[in-house]
């Protein structure tokens, strides 16, 4: 028996975890957001709150999976940061999770 859920079950669970993480961020009940990085960044249009993106990424890391699942989680994270703060910050945070996140992957 596999330690990780089947792809369809994984997608359903990942969606639920993302939604739960966002609710906890909204209620300020989730303590660690962007681990070892700022939760807010300054960009040319103001200040971006990255806590929802980081919380969803943490939820996907908690779900675990194989290396392909990790890559998908990191790409989704990069796109979330890009939407909130632009390509420069997205690249910096993406490189951070690709280099530093391996030891935290389940």
Contacts 24+ apart (CB under 8 A), 25-32: 25/51, 25/52, 25/55, 30/55, 32/58
Residue entry with tokens 């980081």: 54
Q: How far apart are CA 35 and CA 105, in angstroms?
A: 13
Q: How confident is the model at residue 1 (pLDDT cuts 50, 70, 90)?
A: very low
Q: How far apart are CA 55 and CA 102, in angstroms?
A: 17
Answer whether residue 29 shows pLDDT above 60: no
Does the pTM exceed 0.75? no
**Is residue 40 a contact partner of residue 47, using CB atoms and an 8 Å limit?**
yes
pLDDT tens for 42-91 read 887 789 989 889 888 888 888 888 899 899 999 999 999 999 999 999 99
Lowest mean pLDDT among 30-34, 35-39, 83-87: 30-34
């Amino acid at each position: 028996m596999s330690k990780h859920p089947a792809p369809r079950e994984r997608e359903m669970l990942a969606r639920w975890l993302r939604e739960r993480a966002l609710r906890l961020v909204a209620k300020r009940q989730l303590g660690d957001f962007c681990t070892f990085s700022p939760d807010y960044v300054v960009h040319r249009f103001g200040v971006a709150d990255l806590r929802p993106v980081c919380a969803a990424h943490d939820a996907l890391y908690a779900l675990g999976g194989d290396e392909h699942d990790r890559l998908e989680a990191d790409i989704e994270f990069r796109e979330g940061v890009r939407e909130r703060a632009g390509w420069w910050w997205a690249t910096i945070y993406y490189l951070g999770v690709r280099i530093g996140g391996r030891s935290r992957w389940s």
